[in-house]
Amino acid sequence: MTSKAETKYYHHGRFNFSGGVLPDAITAYRTYGDPKNPCIVFPTCYGGRLDNAGLLGQDYMIGPDKALDPTKYYVVTLALFANGESSSPSNTPSPYNGPYFPAVTYEDNIRAQYAVLTKELNVAKVFCVIGFSMGGQQAYYWPIMYPDYVEKFIALCGSARTSPHNQCFLEGPKTALVSSKDFNDGHYTSTPYYGIRAFARVYSAWAYGQTWYREKQYLYNGKFSTLDNFIHDEWEKEFVDTWDANDMLSLLITWQLGDVSRLDYASTADLSLKATVKSLSPSAITPDTEGDLESVLGKIKAKGLIMPCKTDLYFPPEDSENEVAAMTKAGVDAKLVIIPSVWGHLAGGGSNDADDKFIKDEVNKFLET
């Protein structure tokens, strides 16, 4: 069923981003199931694509025997700006291509996705937003930006704010990419292999848990003979074959800027543009709560399920514990379920059958209550 879905493109026309303007911004999306069923929104993560190329697609959670059943729900997958399918440095015409692409925040993405759902797909209300990693961060943004439009949200291995720890980690792969001899400040004319490979190696080191168990699974089960073989096949190849370096950098900046308590980030000094962007969504944030994560989380109306992995090095479970505590303290119906896995961050990304089943069972219970 999932293989029949086709990527479609919504043209926003002139679109204000937090870091500039595009004359014709585009959001890529796919739909699964009957539009008459409750709508589930499933946005992409870092490295995620609707066409299932590269590191991670969206089909891994969609199917009659999976967490998101298209015979019961109307599932809409949406591509982040800069993922190579929606408007990105790699596919935007001059003069906004490459390093001239405007900086993008999560709130820019959510405003665009809201337009797709309301103007193109005529979705009156979203039953649930679910996402993994950067998708999980987007899931947090929805009930903040559109508090009366979303009934439930599920964050898998994601957080409401990109922590200083997480931001520091991201500086590693980013610096490896932009400092490479072939990146040329984003003005490369051919694939910057040195930079992308260096990025992939740094990025891979944080994707897994810290136990010998999974090292044995990966390296000694016959698939990979050495760690270097594993990194070449699983990480370098997927980025080099599929991803544009400027796209990778743009997405990473979106990740670094993540903070649901601040919807006014802008890389530009144009305060009028900043004010325009901020006025475009009916956010629950008020001047007295802006920047106060605990207070903003306490204003959420939607029911939430927060599922970190106990060995995640990107989004450690302690962050989720604090966020759920802030929500429940304010009376928000939020539940914390920690994924008991040795697979680290990838536990939420379809990495293995045991974690997939655990997530499916918890998601199904949450959706049905």
Tell me the pairing of strands 39-43 and 74-78.
Answer: parallel
Q: What is the pLDDT of residue 283?
A: 54
Question: 356: which 2 tokens?
Answer: 């997939």
Interatomic CA distance for residues 90 and 98, integer angstroms? 6
The percent helix, strand, coil of the chain (3-state, each to 5) is 40, 15, 45
CA geometry: angle 129, 354, 169, nearest 5 deg: 65
Q: Indicate the SS3 state at residue 17.
A: strand
Phi, psi of 266 (to 5 degrees): -155, 140
Q: What is the pLDDT of residue 172?
A: 95
DSSP per-residue letters across 37-67: SPEEEEE--TTB-TT--SSB-SGGGBSTTSS
Query: 246 and 98 in contact (C-beta within 8 Å)?
Result: yes
Q: What is the pLDDT of residue 249?
A: 97
Q: What is the pLDDT of residue 338?
A: 98
The CB-side HSE value for 208 (13 A sphere, CA atoms) comes to 19
Q: What is the pLDDT of residue 213?
A: 53
Q: What is the pLDDT of residue 211?
A: 57
Interatomic CA distance for residues 76 and 43, integer angstroms? 8
Taking the chain (369 residues) in consecutive chunks of 10 residues, what is each chunk's mean pLDDT? 78 94 97 98 96 87 96 98 98 97 95 97 98 98 95 98 93 96 96 96 78 55 72 86 95 95 54 44 58 92 97 94 98 97 91 94 97
> Which domains does the chain possess?
2-162+259-368 (3.40.50.1820)
Query: 12 and 26 in contact (C-beta within 8 Å)?
Result: yes
Interatomic CA distance for residues 41 and 37, integer angstroms? 12
Q: What is the pLDDT of residue 124?
A: 98
With CA atoms as reference, report the closest residue to 18 among 280, 308, 208: 280
Phi, psi of 190 (to 5 degrees): -145, 165
Q: What is the pLDDT of residue 217?
A: 59
Q: What is the pLDDT of residue 2?
A: 45
Q: pTM score, two decimals?
A: 0.91
Rama region for 39: left / alpha / beta (φ>0; ψ in -120 to 50; rest): beta
Query: 301 and 148 in contact (C-beta within 8 Å)?
Result: yes
Phi, psi of 202 (to 5 degrees): -70, -40
Q: What is the pLDDT of residue 82?
A: 98
DSSP per-residue letters across 211-233: -HHHHHHHHSSSS-SSHHHHHII
